[in-house]
Structure 1
Amino acid sequence: MKKLTPLDQTYDFFSAEMIEDIVVLKFRENLLVRAADLHAKGSLFEYLDNVSRSDRVKAVLIIGSPEKKGCEEYFEFYRKVFELQMDQVAIVRLYNAVNQFILKIMELNKIVVHADSGEVIPLFLNVSLACDYRVVAENTVFKNPCLELGLVPKGGGVFFLSKMLGRSKALEILLSEGDIPAQEALILGLVDNIAPRETLEKVALNIARGFTRKPSTTVAGIKKLLNYSMKDLRDFLEVENQVLLRMKGSADFRKRLEECPFV
């Protein structure tokens, strides 16, 4: 790890820098893959705890990796899980790491802006839904490879979408095999803004700056009250783990995995 300043950090799979009173967090690799790395997980969670305690930080900007491979990466992850014959304890530990990350974002006492681009699978959508504001590049496409493996999305997607869109619309999206381009996502309310790919980070940073001008106590108070309606999320994520474990252990999952185009 290369230490620059207390809040400027560089790790193997993410980097963070302080720009004015905003922490900009950039991911380099697939979150699911790194969730199995206890050291990487510990570094990320410790950093977020430091951000939460810092009075200097008024907002957080999370930028998704532009190098992610979308569906291919998703299938590759589950292929590795299957080939390595990970036991249930190891898989639960991995799923719990994702749960912890989602909850850390939700409980952060700062405004969290999320920016993403390219091919976005449900896990990364769900990370963004845990944030307070979402902006994507014009080239963003939301995909749902979960259906091809007969799985449900990890990271609270069913919970967030049903809260945001209602049961019927959430069901329609979760069972749809069609892609959702950026403009449609904006209409649905899955994202709050669209920017050209070349200026995505600049636009997202300016949005974060707008939030930093609000009183910190008011922001923290409003977030706490808004999150009250999300108090069942922790229990939901535990049930989500159980559902995924049953699905992953089925013969149908193994058959679908063998037939995947990228495996």
Structure 2
Amino acid sequence: MLPLFHNLLLQLDSASGILRITLNRPSKLNALNAATIEEIRQAMQYALDAQAVRGILLTGSGDKAFVAGADIAELAELNEIVGRRMAEKGQEVFCLIEESSKPVIAAVNGFALGGGCELAMACHLRVASENARFGQPEANLGLIPGYGGTQRLAQLIGKGKALELLMTTDQVKADEALRLGLVNHVVPAAELLPFCEQLLGKILSKAPLAIGMIIDCVNAAYDQERHGYQTEANLFGRCCGSADFREGTQAFLEKRPAAFTGE
């Protein structure tokens, strides 16, 4: 049975293994608060632990917003100590998404501002509807992004443009986000979820062990405590000792589809 949450809706397609996590605070444009961050952590932990889940699709309810930012009323009550702890908790949860061995795609169905943009950037891939908007407006409130936005935005679009968007707080439309490399694809709103499911299905047709290791290797390139090339070599070696590798190479030689098991 899927876990139940107050601010999230979970749907599992048992045939494909795709778990859809929908942020469900439509009256607040799915804005993030502390309770929602904790529910995202619990939902991701469930997804990682559940054998039936092979990939994750993250989206927002309604047609206006993926996540339109943080709950400003909650932010207004912060002090330095509580603010730092909140940022550390958000970073921990978003790193859980980024480091997931199961692929995570953000289906950005509208505004992705502040924490919403940070949440989308923590996912492995981002697909935007044509009405999507991205931005980090924190400086308007005397703040900076706290959930990894200063780091991931620069990784995705480059230091100079990231600094410009962070300091001006300008919003970016979907087509510009695609040009900058902030998103992977832009599609009409009606096609967003079917496109994401098709893309995720294509990824899930590959060897699960290899997909998880690809995610780990790419992440290692941005981790100052790890050596990306050595991580790649280590995990390449592990692939060579796996059942999926033996199956994949044998299937190629026998000219048949591979039946991967993730082992």
Query: Structure 1 length normalisation: TM-score?
Result: 0.74
1:26-45 matched pairs, under 5 angstroms: 26-29=22-25, 30=30, 32-33=32-33, 35=34, 37=35, 41-45=37-41
Name the Cα RMSD after superposition.
2.4
Change in CA separation of 1:44 and 1:185 when aligned onto 2, cut-off 3 Å? closer
* Aligned residue in 1 for 2:146: 154
* Aligned residue in 2 for 1:11: 5
Change in CA separation of 1:206 and 1:227 when aligned onto 2, cut-off 3 Å? same
| 186-195 or 199-208: bigger deviation | 199-208
SS at match of 1:230: coil
| 24-33 or 115-124: bigger deviation | 24-33
Residue 157 of structure 2, aligned match among 165, 172, 184: 165
* Letter of the structure 2 residue corresponding to residue 200 of structure 1: L
Is 2:49 the partner of 1:47?
no
SS at match of 2:147: coil
1:68-217 matched pairs, under 5 angstroms: 68=65, 74=70, 77-82=71-76, 85-217=77-209
Structure 1 residue 203: deviation in Å?
A: 1.3
Query: Structure 2 length normalisation: TM-score?
Result: 0.74
Bigger relative contact order, structure 1 or 2 (CA pairs below 8 A, ≥6 apart): 1
* Aligned residue in 1 for 2:56: 60
* Aligned residue in 1 for 2:229: none
Q: Which runs of 5+ in 2 are unaligned?
A: 226-263
CA contact 1:9–1:17 (8 Å) conserved in 2: no
> What is the rounded CA distance, in whole Å, between the counterparts of 1:100 and 1:17 in structure 2?
24
Percent of residue pairs identical: 22
* Aligned residue in 1 for 2:228: none
> What is the rounded CA distance, in whole Å, between the counterparts of 1:232 and 1:204 in structure 2?
32
| 42-51 or 190-199: bigger deviation | 42-51
* Letter of the structure 2 residue corresponding to residue 17 of structure 1: Q
SS at match of 1:32: coil
> What is the rounded CA distance, in whole Å, between the counterparts of 2:133 and 2:118 in structure 1?
14
Structure 1 residue 80: deviation in Å?
A: 4.1
Structure number with bigger Rg: 2
* Letter of the structure 2 residue corresponding to residue 54 of structure 1: A
> What is the rounded CA distance, in whole Å, between the counterparts of 2:57 and 2:66 in structure 1?
22
Q: Which runs of 5+ in 1 are unaligned?
A: 234-263
* Letter of the structure 2 residue corresponding to residue 187 of structure 1: R
